């Protein structure tokens, strides 16, 4: 079953499952009340737009966009600089909580991001002062594979929570992600890497339609939806990579 007569990137059942998972995530975030929300810039930009639609009280002002992905050139150096500058700017001496909104299929990328941030917290002596958790939109690993054991350990230790969907609609779908980053040098495997700079913004008809469909499903006015976070992504990258 297709949600409208126009050709879609997803079925109604997939949209419904995705919307319910995002609603569960937004309820969880509201209950936890984190001081900051991290949204890794390559995969999570559309997730924040979806959360804003799902929850009209979503704390968008607390969102920051770390360049936390293996697709970035010099990832470790880049993310160390971003995290360090963020902590210098945001941490004021009081206990603080941060929640990372991420895609979870195998969970390996999310667990690696967790480990990298914990390493910096330990180096700065802030591991007991800053609580870092993950809220993931989940999709079953392909070909019968299991999730990464490090990520499953985070789930068991209540450091990560997954909201399962039939399909992460925005994952690896360039039509459903408005951000285009500058391309860096290919990695040793011949795969393109990215630079932490926005090349362009492509608010495609398919992406607008996704946001409108989510709004219709959630009972909000589809004419009022927008890509809430596009300008903030660039600001977040620039601010903490100076």
Q: Give 72's DSSP letter.
A: B
Q: Does domain 12-240 have CATH number 3.30.310?
A: no
Report residue 89's pLDDT band, with 50, 70 and 90 as the boundaries: very high
Task: Give the pLDDT mean for 201-218.
Answer: 91
Mean pLDDT of 204-228: 86
pLDDT of residue 158: 97
Take residue 11 and report the two structure tokens written for it. 């079925």
Q: What is the 3-state secondary structure (H, E, C) of 26-59?
A: HHHHHHHCCCEEECCCCCCHHHHHHHHHHCCCCC
Judge whether 178 and 210 are in contact, CB under 8 Å: no
Per-residue pLDDT tens digits for 36-46: 999 999 889 99
The predicted model scores a pTM of: 0.92
- Residue identified by tokens 């903030």 is 232
Report the Cα 50 to chain-centroid distance in Å: 11
């Amino acid at each position: 079953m297709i949600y409208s007569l126009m050709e879609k990137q997803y079925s109604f059942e997939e949209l419904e499952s995705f919307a319910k998972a995002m609603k569960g995530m937004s309820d969880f975030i509201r209950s936890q009340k984190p001081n900051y929300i991290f949204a890794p810039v390559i995969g999570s930009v559309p997730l924040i737009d979806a959360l804003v639609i799902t929850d009209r009280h979503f704390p968008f002002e607390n969102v920051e966009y770390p360049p936390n992905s293996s697709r970035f050139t010099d990832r470790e150096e880049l993310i160390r600089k971003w995290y360090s500058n963020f902590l210098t700017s945001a941490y004021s001496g009081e206990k603080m909580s941060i929640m990372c909104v991420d895609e979870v299929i195998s969970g390996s990328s999310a667990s690696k991001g967790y480990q990298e941030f914990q390493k910096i917290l330990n180096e700065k002596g802030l591991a007991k002062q800053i609580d870092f958790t993950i809220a993931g939109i989940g999709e079953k690993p392909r070909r019968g594979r299991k999730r990464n054991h490090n990520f499953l350990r985070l789930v068991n230790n209540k450091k990560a929570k997954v909201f399962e969907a039939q399909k992460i609609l925005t994952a690896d779908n360039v039509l459903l992600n408005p951000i285009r980053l500058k391309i860096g040098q290919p990695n040793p495997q011949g795969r393109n890497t990215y630079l932490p700079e926005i090349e362009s913004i492509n608010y495609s008809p398919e992406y607008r339609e996704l946001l409108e469909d989510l709004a219709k499903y959630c009972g909000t006015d589809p004419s009022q939806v927008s890509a809430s976070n596009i300008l903030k992504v660039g600001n977040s990258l620039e601010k903490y990579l100076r």
